[in-house]
Amino acid sequence: MLNYSYNQSMKLKTTLLVILISTIAINTAYAKIANKYYERKLMDTDVDAMNGEGDTPVSEFINHNRTDPKYGERYDFKRFVDYEENLTSVVMKDGKIIFEQYNKEDIDSHFHINPMSMTKTLVGSAVGLALCNGDIKSLDDTVGLYSKSLSNSVYNNVTIRNLLRMASGVNKNRDNEKEYNRMIRNRRDSGLNDQVEIIQSIQDRHSEQGKVSIYHTLDVTAASILISELTGKSVSKK
């Protein structure tokens, strides 16, 4: 009788252990699937692009409540221009500035505003212009073919395409670029640091190029060096 009870107890424990292990495995698998779902659908992030497994998506924003202005009618945009978060407003027509307004006392036409991540778009546009002009033959060429400075850096064999995708493999995450960003900002403020020297000081690559796309600054800095040496002009002059 005791032996029977012992066997039943062991069977029960074994069954419970199997159920526990199965539950853990199912939950782990579900968590991975759910994580990708939330990243892709709820956070509007294309996971394949982040992992370097597909094309980089382009977002399109459509104004479904658009109101087309009618010819001859006057519209007052003052509330947009005067919005407290708006630092400046500039309107150009036929290549000439016809209106400008500055909403802070210490900001005028000579003030250099830090464009932050808008720089990425501007640099990408400059690279696109160089491609259209024939200065760059192919986005699959390596940056070292066009820039002497980058040929003497960890970026030498990185393709221009992967540079634009921020998929050089130089960045492990946003943390390891902080010190470089600080030096680049100091260059802007005091001119003490040279961005070529900063890029050439990077010794390691954390992943194979094209494998992972990570949003960061260093690839954009390298791209700006590429444009500067290729065209003889800085990105701001293009």
pLDDT digits (tens, 9 = 90+) for 129-144: 999 999 999 999 999 9
Burial class (CB within 10 angstroms; exposed 0-12, middle 13-18, buried 19+) of 150: buried
Q: pTM of the full predicted structure?
A: 0.62
Give pLDDT tens digits for 76-115.
Answer: 888 888 888 888 888 888 989 999 999 888 888 888 777 7
Give 96's strand partners. 93
Q: Give the per-residue pLDDT at 164.
A: 92
Per the CB < 8 A criterion, the answer to whether 154 and 169 are in contact is no
Higher-confidence residue: 31 or 142?
142
Locate 119 and state its tokens.
């720089």
Q: Where are the domains of the chain?
A: 2-45, 118-237
Burial class (CB within 10 angstroms; exposed 0-12, middle 13-18, buried 19+) of 182: exposed
Residue 178 confidence (pLDDT) above 60: yes
